[in-house]
Structure 1
Amino acid sequence: MTSEQVRSPLAAVRERVREQLRERIVTGVLRPGDRLVERDLAKDLGVSRVPVREAIHSLEADGFVVVQSPRRVVVRQLSRVDVEELFDVREALEVLATGLACQRVDPPALRRLKHEVTEAARALAAGNVAQAAEANVRFHQEIVTLAGNRLLLAMLRQLEDRLRWLFRQNEDWHRLQKEHLRLYEAIASGDPELARACSAEHVRVNRALVLALLFPDESGAGDARAG
């Protein structure tokens, strides 16, 4: 057996653990400030502490956790500046993607977009916020795919988990649902300028909602930027 064959199963375990921990952070199972204890996570995931330790190092490099000391690791608490910067990048890239998607839209693509809007509405009606959030993520992913720009797609994929986390930082889900319906209608109109304007407004509305939720003591500080 070669050294590569020996390493491969270990690498697979490490990757699985990393993805599981990342998913817990992105979906809010592990919240900002929560502590990650190697021993407990290893027992929970049914692995040794080595892949957990390596996964934590990887998540630290990706900006999801902070190693405060050799014995204390916590989920990273994003600052207001962190969130503002993420919204700045999101607005620039999503507005571009929406304009491109509008130019390429066809009936099958419209059906896929409408399906995700409908699925989110059904989930909300059933009280399943997590399911609605995932439908909303797929809605935005469909727009990016429809844009057909490989470089743009690659750039957004690097931010995918951060954006998924951001999409979940919301308490006004019904307002977000209305925003997505408006965005769908703008894309369906075939007017790229309207679609870009609607996308920009959607991001700015979401920015204001998220900042008010995450930083209630700083309300008003970003009103000018929220638009």
Structure 2
Amino acid sequence: MGSAEQPLAATRHRVIDELRERIVGGELKPGDRLVERELAEAFGVSRVPVREAIRSLESEGFVVVTSPRRVVVRQLDRTDVEELFDVREALEGLAAGLAATRASRADLKRLERLLADAARATEAGRARRIAQLNTRFHDEIVAIAGNGLLTTVLDPLAGRLRWLTRQNEHWHDLVSEHEHLFEAIASGDRERAANCGSGHVRVNRDVTLRALFPDEF
């Protein structure tokens, strides 16, 4: 039984990950309808893992089941976005502060390499690569922070936070902000790093709100 369950679980996780990435990457946009049959054909799987993926993404806040036969990608309103940023600001500040007290030389080298890669991707205008490196940079800081509960709290929000981050196309500014955050963490000053981490989120919040709700500014 174990061997039969393994490929089924792998298929389920693949469909969940790919469907989430289509939403986060903008291929599927807010309001787009998800049709089980069409998705099953696109992924080359039965409708069962697609149905399970939709349930999972509903619990993550990516899709809304409006009726037994209608599922759409969720349209985040301004309150949703602001609440996500409120939580992110608190958690990113905590992560950066902890990282400042716990980062080893090897940890800092990894962050430096990610910054260098991001700078090159920015100069080349590689949007998808920039988004991936931005996510890895923040994930690395959380890992360095070494707080299991913090990771557990962030995990269910990770996809939606990545989606929000991808709305910020001020790429050169992002690189600069990340360099300042790295310097704060490398200084070993917990308060400085925490303030820098929270400040970075506040800047990103303003840019994202203006991108998503331009008529309100």
1:116 and 1:169 map into 2 onto residues whose CA distance is 20
For residue 126 of structure 2, the aligned residue among 125, 128, 133 is: 128
TM-score normalised by the chain length of structure 2: 0.93
Q: Which ranges of 4 or more aligned residues in structure 1 deviate by more than 4 Å?
A: 4-8
Confirm whether residue 46 of structure 1 aligns to residue 44 of structure 2: yes
Confirm whether residue 148 of structure 1 aligns to residue 151 of structure 2: no
For residue 69 of structure 2, the aligned residue among 58, 68, 71 is: 71
1:203 and 1:62 map into 2 onto residues whose CA distance is 21
1:66 and 1:24 map into 2 onto residues whose CA distance is 16
Which is worse superposed, 123-132 or 47-56? Answer: 47-56
Consecutive unaligned residues of structure 1, counting only runs of 5 or more, are: 220-227
Confirm whether residue 165 of structure 1 aligns to residue 198 of structure 2: no
TM-score normalised by the chain length of structure 1: 0.89
Which residue in 2 is equivalent to 1:89? 87
Shift of 1:10: 3.3
Consecutive unaligned residues of structure 2, counting only runs of 5 or more, are: none
Confirm whether residue 201 of structure 1 aligns to residue 182 of structure 2: no
Which residue in 2 is equivalent to 1:139? 137
For residue 104 of structure 1, the aligned residue among 88, 102, 105 is: 102
1:8 and 1:113 map into 2 onto residues whose CA distance is 35
Aligned-partner SS, 1:20: helix
**How many residues are paired up?**
217
1:112-139 superposed Cα distances (whole Å, 9 cap, x missing partner): 1111111111111111111011111111
Taking only the aligned residue pairs, the percentage that are identical comes to 62
For residue 36 of structure 1, the aligned residue among 34, 46, 65 is: 34
2:154 and 2:167 map into 1 onto residues whose CA distance is 19
Q: Which fold has the larger relative contact order, with Cα–Cα distance below 8 Å and residues 6 or more apart in sequence?
A: 2
Confirm whether residue 211 of structure 1 aligns to residue 200 of structure 2: no
Which residue in 1 is equivalent to 2:182? 184
Which is worse superposed, 77-86 or 167-176? Answer: 167-176
Aligned-partner SS, 1:10: helix
1:93 and 1:74 map into 2 onto residues whose CA distance is 29
User: Given the superposition, is the C-alpha separation of residues 6 and 144 from structure 1 closer, same or farther in structure 2, using an over 3 Å criterion?
Assistant: closer
Q: Give me the CA root mean square deviation.
A: 1.6
1:21-56 superposed Cα distances (whole Å, 9 cap, x missing partner): 112112222221222122221111001222212221
